[in-house]
Amino acid sequence: MRSEGQVRFIRISGQAQRRAAAGAVLFACAWVVTLGWAGISSLLASWHHSDLLDREAKVASAESRVAAYRKDIGKVADDIARRQTFIETLVQTHVGDLPADRRRGETVSDSRGEAGRTVDKVSAAVPEAAPLARLEARQLAFVEGLTRLADRRSASAEAAIRKLGLDPRAMLAALNDRTAQGGPLLRLATAADGTLDPRFRRLGYSLARMEALQRGLQGIPQVLPASFQFISSGFGYRADPIDGGAAFHPGLDFRGPIGAPIYAAAQGRVSFVGRKAGYGNCVEITHGNGLVTRYAHMSGFRTVLGRTVAAGDLIGAIGSTGRSTGPHLHFEVRIHDQPVNPRPFLEVAPHVLKEARGPLRGGQP
């Protein structure tokens, strides 16, 4: 060191130098650690602040979405209610009021009381869901009303079928017959987990039962195949018109001019067109449930094999082919290949079936 023209020297031993260096290193490390910790603390504080902002944003977003959903639930409930009103109005216009009372012997439930209590509980616990709860109760009541209607129409159809001397159980057997069936698997469900509400299951079964019985009604002879005023021979035992001997006549004979129209007595599928021994030119129509109608002695065919016909469709013309003494229509009704008297069907069936079907609104049958 230089001081006032004099130079002085300070000698530092190696040990002192090492101590000084160690102190400087420790100081530097402490300084670095202090700066690092300050930086990390600042970064952590920044991250924490950012996380809080994100959480606040999510809370704000969730609250706004809940409010939006609550608003949307009301709109959705209104839309569904309008659709339900449209369905109920449509059914009422074409069918009439659905039965609300539960008759003795009916298996369909009446959930109106329980549904009312459910609406009260839901409205108290989740006020915004009250419109949906009321709509659900209304929907279930509608489903139960449809089920009662289907059950009562089925009961009416069964009574009509029995009046005609037929067994409705044969027509219902098709519901449990799974032979010759198939197709893609399309399960029906009323819930997201794939289950079907028992009330909707009951409705489906009731509608299927009603359809089977009404389809059976449609296949019952109910339309005159020719003019009823000119029946020349009835069903049962008679003197054979050709040899005079005792014989059994398995149908009705309708006398008429050659070429006069012959009509299908009921809905069905044409299962035979051609000649049969003794019958001449003949058409057979299968109506289901073992019931077949036969039209014989035709002069000409007006239908083809496999065609589906409705009651009253033109299928042929009166003639005198086969074992016949003159132009006429021989008409048979056969159940499981056994002939039965067609006359009760043709005389009684139109009135009985009209009562069984019941009028729809607007005068539609």
Same domain for 171 and 256? Answer: no
Structure confidence at residue 316 (pLDDT)? 96
Same domain for 295 and 207? Answer: no
Closest CA to 312 of 214, 224, 218, 227: 224
Report helix, strand or coil for 207: helix
* pLDDT tens, N- to C-terminus, the chain (365 residues): 676 667 777 777 777 677 767 666 666 656 555 555 555 566 555 555 566 666 656 555 555 555 655 666 777 777 778 888 888 887 877 777 788 777 766 667 777 777 788 778 877 887 777 778 888 888 888 888 888 888 888 888 888 888 777 778 777 775 565 554 555 545 555 666 667 777 788 888 888 888 888 888 778 888 889 876 677 777 888 777 777 778 888 999 999 999 999 999 999 999 999 999 999 999 999 998 788 999 999 999 999 999 999 999 999 999 999 999 899 999 999 988 999 888 888 877 766 666 665 544 443 43
**Residue 1 domain-assigned (yes or no):** no
Structure confidence at residue 357 (pLDDT)? 59
d(CA 67, CA 225): 70
Same domain for 207 and 292? Answer: no
**Residue 169 domain-assigned (yes or no):** yes
Q: Which CATH number is 357's domain given? A: 2.70.70.10
Structure confidence at residue 363 (pLDDT)? 38
Structure confidence at residue 306 (pLDDT)? 95
**Residue 105 domain-assigned (yes or no):** yes
What is the number of domains present in the chain? 2
Structure confidence at residue 334 (pLDDT)? 92
DSSP 97: P
Same domain for 213 and 339? Answer: no
Same domain for 141 and 213? Answer: yes
Q: Is 321 exposed, middle or buried (0-12, 13-18, 19+ CB in 10 A)?
A: middle
**Residue 20 domain-assigned (yes or no):** no
Question: What count of other Cβ atoms lies within 10 Å of the Cβ of residue 193?
Answer: 5
What number of CA atoms fall less than 13 Å from residue 238's CA on the CB side?
A: 13
Chain-centroid distance of CA 101 in Å reads 24
Same domain for 281 and 210? Answer: no
| Opening angle at CA 155, ends 311 and 189, nearest 5 | 95
Structure confidence at residue 285 (pLDDT)? 97
Q: Which residues have CB under 8 Å from 360's CB, separation 6+?
A: 94, 95, 96
d(CA 28, CA 142): 86
Pair of tokens at residue 34: 């202090």
**Residue 79 domain-assigned (yes or no):** no
Same domain for 293 and 337? Answer: yes
Structure confidence at residue 271 (pLDDT)? 96
Pair of tokens at residue 110: 């009446």
pTM summary value: 0.60
Structure confidence at residue 321 (pLDDT)? 94
Q: Is 221 exposed, middle or buried (0-12, 13-18, 19+ CB in 10 A)?
A: buried
**Residue 40 domain-assigned (yes or no):** no
Instruction: Give the residue numbers spanning the domain of 143.
Output: 95-177+190-218
**Residue 147 domain-assigned (yes or no):** yes
Report helix, strand or coil for 199: helix
Pair of tokens at residue 177: 């017959």
Report helix, strand or coil for 333: strand
Same domain for 213 and 301? Answer: no
Same domain for 198 and 282? Answer: no
Same domain for 284 and 359? Answer: yes
Same domain for 243 and 329? Answer: yes
